[in-house]
Amino acid sequence: MLIGGIEAGGTKIVCAVGTTPNNIEAKTTFPTKSPSETLLEIKRFFSRYELNSIGVGSFGPIDLDKSSKTYGKILNTPKLNWRNYNLLEQLKEDYSIPVYINTDVNIACLSEYYQGAGKNVNSCLYITIGTGIGAGFVKNGEIYQGTSHPEMGHIYIPKHPKDSFNGSCPYHKSCLEGLGSGTSIKKRHGKTGEDLTKEGFVWELESYYLAHAIVNYSFILSPERIILGGGVMKQNNLYPLIRKKVSCLINNYVNNVNDMENFIMPPVLNDEQGVKGAIQLAINQREREGKSHLKHKTKQYF
Amino acid sequence: MLIGGIEAGGTKIVCAVGTTPNNIEAKTTFPTKSPSETLLEIKRFFSRYELNSIGVGSFGPIDLDKSSKTYGKILNTPKLNWRNYNLLEQLKEDYSIPVYINTDVNIACLSEYYQGAGKNVNSCLYITIGTGIGAGFVKNGEIYQGTSHPEMGHIYIPKHPKDSFNGSCPYHKSCLEGLGSGTSIKKRHGKTGEDLTKEGFVWELESYYLAHAIVNYSFILSPERIILGGGVMKQNNLYPLIRKKVSCLINNYVNNVNDMENFIMPPVLNDEQGVKGAIQLAINQREREGKSHLKHKTKQYF
C-alpha cells in the first residue's frame, strides 16, 4: 500500500507516492492555483494509485489545534483565495483514508531529522531563511507543538549598531524576519542577496541577526543540531560567519555546543525534502494511532 | 509511605516529608553550608521518617543528561565547595531508595503547574526574576529538557534606546539577565528595586526587557500560560506594564494569546513551592518508571 505526500507551497505543489520517504514511486510538480483547481490536479495525480494515507506539509499559518473547530484550516495568509480554506477537511472528504497535516517548515524539519542532516541526532531545529523566516523543531521524532505552532521567525533580537534599516516585517518591523529575511535584504540594500555576494557588510548584518536568533533558540530549546536552509543560505560563506558569531555570543556558557561544525549545518535533502517529510508524517501518525489502539486493546485484557 | 522533598537553594535548604505535595507532614529549613554539613542536616531530619523516594530541586547548573558520567553533578557554580559535587549520587548512596533531581526553577515550574497558577492549563513557563533570571517549562506534566537544561535567562533581546547601561552578565554582558535581573537594576541605578518603587524609568526598562523576552519565549514555545516570580516581581505594578508591552509587541500576530490577564500571571505558591515541586517530581518519576515496568511486563505476555 502506498502513502501520498503533498508539499503545498505558496507558488508550487509537489505530490508524491511511495511506501516510505526513501522509496518514492512517482512524483509530480505543478503551480499553486486556486484551491479547487489545485485539488483537481492533486486528484488527477493520486487517482492512479491506491493510497492508505496522505501526509501534507502546507504553507500557513494553519490551525493545528486538534480541539479547535477550524483544525486544519489555513488562516490569515496573504494568498486571499486560500484564506480560511480547510485543506485537511477537503482532502479527508475526497479520500476516505487518514489525512495528516502540518506546516511546511515543520515537515521540512521532520524530513531532515529522519533522512537528512538530523539523521544521527535526537533533536534538531530547522530554520528556513527565504522571503520570510520560519523554523520547526523535532525532538525524539515528534514535531514540537505548543498551544499553536511556533512562530520562531518573529522573535526580537538586538539591532546591529551600524544598521539604519527599520525592518520589513508588517507586524513587528524589526523582528528577526524584519531584519534578516530575503525581503529585508532587498528592501535595505535595493538588491537581492544573489546580487550582493561580495558585499561584506550585507553578510556581516545577516550573520549577526541569525547568530543572535540561533543563540536564543539554543538557550530556550537546547537542540542537538541546527539546520539552516532556504534561499538566503545559498550564500555559503554565511555558515562560517554564523558559527563564529554564535560561539562568541554563547561564550562557553553552556557546554553542549562546543563543536560548531556539527552544531550548525546545511540541509542534506533538496527538492524532495517536503514530500519526503509529508510521507514521514503520515507514517509516524499512523504508527502512533496504531499504538494507542493497541494500548486500548491491551487494557481490555487486564 | 512518605516522600522526601528537598529544595536546595544557594542560601537555604528546605526539606519536607509528605504523601503528596498537598499533604506535607513535616518541614524544616536551615542555611546552606558545605556539602557534608548540609547532607548531615538533611539526614538528621529525614531519619525520623520512612521514605520511599526523594525528589530534589537544586541550584545549578546541574548535569541533567542521564547518559552522562557526571549525571546529577552540580557544575560550575560560584559556590566553590559545591562545584563538581554530585548531590544525586550522594543521596542515592545515603538512602537505598529512588532519588530524582532537577533544577530549582524547573521544580518551581512543576509545582505551579500542578498546584499553583498553572493548575488549569496544559503548559506553563515559569520565569524567576531575582539576582539572576531563570525559566522552566512544563508541558503535559513533563519538564522540558533538551540536550541540556535550558538557560532561558540568557537570551539576547533589543536594548532600550534610552538605556546607557552595558549590562551585568559576566558571560554575555547585555543578555536578558544582564539587563533585567535584580543585579542589573542595582548596578545600573545604584539601589535595589525595593528602593526604586516610584522611579518610573526603572520599571519602564524592566518591563521593556521582560516583555521582549516573553514574546520570544511565546513565539518559540507557544506556552498556554506564563508565570512571573522572583524578588523583582514583588513590584506588582510590573504585571500591567509587561502585559501591555507584550500585547503591543505581538501585535495580533498569533491568536492564542489574546487575554493577557490570563496569559501572564503571578505565582500562587509561596514558601512551599520548592519542596512541593520536589515531592511532585518524585511522584511523577516513580509513576513513569512504574509504567515502563508495566510495558516491559506486558511485552512478555505477547
Name residue A177's amino acid.
E
| Per-residue pLDDT at A103 exceeds 50 | yes
H or E stretch including B301?
Answer: helix B273-301
The x, y and z cell numbers of residue B100, run together, are: 530524582
Say how far apart CA A281 and CA A299 lie, in whole Å: 27
Q: Which residues contact B40 (CB under 8 A, 6 or more apart)?
A: none
Using pLDDT thresholds of 50, 70 and 90, give the confidence band for residue B299.
Answer: very low
Q: What's residue B293's pLDDT?
A: 54
Per-residue pLDDT of B250-270, as tens digits, reads 998 887 777 999 999 999 998
Per-residue pLDDT of A156-189, as tens digits, reads 999 999 999 999 999 999 999 999 999 999 999 9
For residues B132-159, give the mean pLDDT: 94
- Picking from A66-75, A248-257, B18-27, which range would have the lowest pLDDT averaged per residue? A248-257
Beta carbons within 10 angstroms of residue A294's beta carbon? 12
CB atoms B217 and A220 under 8 Å: yes
- Picking from A96-105, A133-142, B71-80, which range would have the lowest pLDDT averaged per residue? B71-80
Q: Of the candidates B139, B216, B222, which has its C-beta nearest A216's C-beta? A: B216
Nearest CA in chain A to B298: A298
Q: What's residue A294's pLDDT?
A: 52
The alpha helices in A12-81, defined as continuous H runs, are: 35-46
Using pLDDT thresholds of 50, 70 and 90, give the confidence band for residue A295.
Answer: very low
For the B117-265 domain, the top CATH level (class) is: alpha beta
| Percent of chain B with pLDDT strictly greater than 90 | 85
Q: What's residue B298's pLDDT?
A: 39
Domain boundaries, chain A: 2-103, 117-265
The x, y and z cell numbers of residue B288, run together, are: 513513569
Cβ neighbours of A123 in B, within 8 Å? 146-147
CB A282 within 8 A of CB A55: yes
Query: Strand ranges (DSSP E) for chain B?
Result: 2-8, 12-20, 23-31, 51-58, 99-103, 123-129, 133-139, 142-143, 225-229, 264-265
Measuring CA to CA, how many Å separate B293 from each of A140, A289, B290, B296, B301? 21, 22, 5, 5, 13
Cβ neighbours of B212 in A, within 8 Å? 156
Q: What's residue A300's pLDDT?
A: 35
The x, y and z cell numbers of residue A160, run together, are: 546591529
Q: Is A92 exposed, middle or buried (0-12, 13-18, 19+ CB in 10 A)?
A: middle
Q: What's residue A218's pLDDT?
A: 96
Nearest to B33, CA basis, from B78, B81, B75, B72: B81
Query: DSSP letters along A231-253, please?
Result: GGGGSTTHHHHHHHHHHHHHTTS
Cell 549525571 appears where?
Answer: B71
Please report the number of interchain residue pairs, chain A to chain B, with beta-carbon separation below 8 angstroms.
Answer: 116
CATH of domain A2-103: 3.30.420.40
Residue B283: half-sphere exposure toward Cβ, Cα within 13 Å:
22
Nearest to A247, CA basis, from A236, A260, A229, A234: A260
Q: What's residue A75's pLDDT?
A: 87
CB B279 within 8 A of CB B55: yes
Peptide bond into B158 cis (omega under 30): no
Nearest CA in chain A to B249: A172
| Percent of chain A with pLDDT strictly greater than 90 | 84
| Per-residue pLDDT at A292 exceeds 80 | no
Minimal C-alpha gap between A160 and chain B (Å): 10
Q: What's residue A157's pLDDT?
A: 98
Q: What's residue B302's pLDDT?
A: 30
| Per-residue pLDDT at B296 exceeds 60 | no
Minimal C-alpha gap between A267 and chain B (Å): 20
Length of chain B: 302
Per-residue pLDDT of B60-90, as tens digits, reads 889 998 888 999 999 888 888 999 999 999 9
H or E stretch including A136?
Answer: strand A133-139
| Per-residue pLDDT at B301 exceeds 50 | no
For residues A242-259, give the mean pLDDT: 89
For residues A137-153, give the mean pLDDT: 93
Q: Are strands B99-103 and B51-58 parallel, antiparallel or unpaired?
A: parallel
Whole-model pTM: value is 0.94
CA A223, distance to chain mean position in Å, is 16
Q: What's residue B291's pLDDT?
A: 74
| Per-residue pLDDT at A297 exceeds 50 | no
CB atoms A152 and B122 under 8 Å: no
Residue A206: half-sphere exposure toward Cβ, Cα within 13 Å:
32
| Per-residue pLDDT at A87 exceeds 80 | yes
Say how far apart CA B176 and CA B173 lie, in whole Å: 9
| Average pLDDT over all residues of chain B | 93
Nearest to A274, CA basis, from A108, A119, A131, A28: A108
The x, y and z cell numbers of residue A299, run together, are: 487494557
CB atoms A253 and B147 under 8 Å: no
Nearest to B217, CA basis, from A146, A299, A2: A146
Q: Which residues contact A97 (CB under 8 A, 6 or more apart)?
A: A51, A52, A53, A54
Say how far apart CA A258 and CA B234 lie, in whole Å: 38
Say how far apart CA A53 and CA A286 lie, in whole Å: 8
The alpha helices in chain A, defined as continuous H runs, are: 35-46, 87-94, 104-115, 176-180, 182-189, 200-221, 238-250, 260-263, 273-301
- The reply to whether domains A2-103 and A117-265 share a CATH topology is yes
The x, y and z cell numbers of residue A259, run together, are: 563543536
Provide residues of A within 8 Å CB-CB of chain B.
65, 75, 122-123, 139, 145-159, 171-172, 174, 212, 215-217, 219-224, 249, 251-256, 298
